[in-house]
Amino acid sequence: MDALRDGIADTLRHELLTRRAKLGQAIGRRPDPSLLELVRQVDSALERLDDGSFGLCEVCHEPIEAERLLVDPLLRNCLDHLSKAEQVALQRDLDLAGEVQRKLLPPPELKLAGWEIANYYLPYRVASGDYCDVIPTAQGLYALLGDVSGKGVAASMLVATLHGLFRTLLPDGCDLGCSLERANRIFCESTVTSHYATLVCANAEESGDLTLVSAGHCAPYLISRGRVDTLESSGLPLGAFCQATYTTSELHLERGDMIFLYTDGLSEATNASGDEYGASRLPDFLACRDGDSPRGAVEACLADLREFTGGTPPGDDLTLLCLKRA
């Protein structure tokens, strides 16, 4: 059953048993009909796990969307068979999640500490699993781009978690690799095992020195005087293993040098024939963007993507982030 693959059933069983115990404690303090009804729903979900019917829509008997079950394991219907009231409530929640997420994004263009920065963000649905932030510091800035597994509200909630996590951890002055190790442990312990996040983080100083660390994200590109270099990474995604370690790379960017970061909504975008845009296409394209402003490079990349896809609708969230030493 799709909804229960990859150990999700065990995760949900643990979640349901935890909720059952907490409800029992609450009822012991204050018996309440609404709490008793929740206990009944939890017990029913546990019974469905035992008899193999858990995660199946009660109307069409098709699998309920896994990402929705991870948020609410008491669900009994798929999206196609929600009641009118449930549809209205879900749309309201989606709109709110999308609005909250957009407010967490940095401005589309920034100038900070001798750096010009531009970003582009397009969610596949109302809410997105892509994470993008720029955090000013006394000596420069942190630029972060990431991608949480999954889509929709569940992924957007984890994006908000990452946003708060790095806004708390990065300004404390720790080594960037150590900060990522701490963030990984916290993220790993606070999310279900089926969720993880890829991430690339750059600490750019006014001097042009840049420290880069990646957690399994698409490799960034350095554009310098007509040459494009791939900045490979070997770190594991956040949440994959609680004890992962991360190494940093040290670079120095001259004036006019540029770093280009992207999520796989770019590299895995397809055209009508099913061909992928591909990360291998980017170096040749970016070599022609030397001298562009960050906004110019982003807009040119989007135009090239539109030409390649020929109007094929996107199948994933898309975020681009470009930094240039002014």
CB atoms within 10 A of CB 52: 11
Report pLDDT for 119. 97
Report pLDDT for 1. 47
Residue 270 banded pLDDT, cuts 50, 70, 90: very high
The Cα–Cα gap between 148 and 128 comes to: 9
For the chain, the maximum distance between any two Cα atoms, rounded to a whole number of angstroms, is 71
Averaged pLDDT of the chain? 88
109-166: pLDDT as tens digits: 999 999 999 999 999 887 788 999 999 998 899 999 999 987 777 788 889 889 999 9
CB 277 within 8 A of CB 267: yes
Residue 79 pLDDT > 60: yes
Residue 4 pLDDT > 60: no
290-306: pLDDT as tens digits: 889 999 999 999 999 99
The Cα–Cα gap between 290 and 77 comes to: 52
Identify the structural domains of the chain with CATH numbers, from first to last: 2-81 (1.20.120.910), 108-325 (3.60.40.10)
From the list 122, 128, 159, 126, the residue with the least C-alpha distance to 319 is 122
Amino acid code (one letter) for 1: M
14-23, 30-39, 94-103: which has the minimum mean pLDDT? 94-103
Report pLDDT for 3. 46
pTM listed for this prediction: 0.77
Residue 192 banded pLDDT, cuts 50, 70, 90: low
Q: Where are the alpha helices (DSSP H) in the chain?
A: 8-29, 33-51, 66-71, 84-104, 152-169, 176-190, 264-267, 282-287, 294-309
Q: What's the first-to-final CA gap in the chain, in angstroms?
A: 53
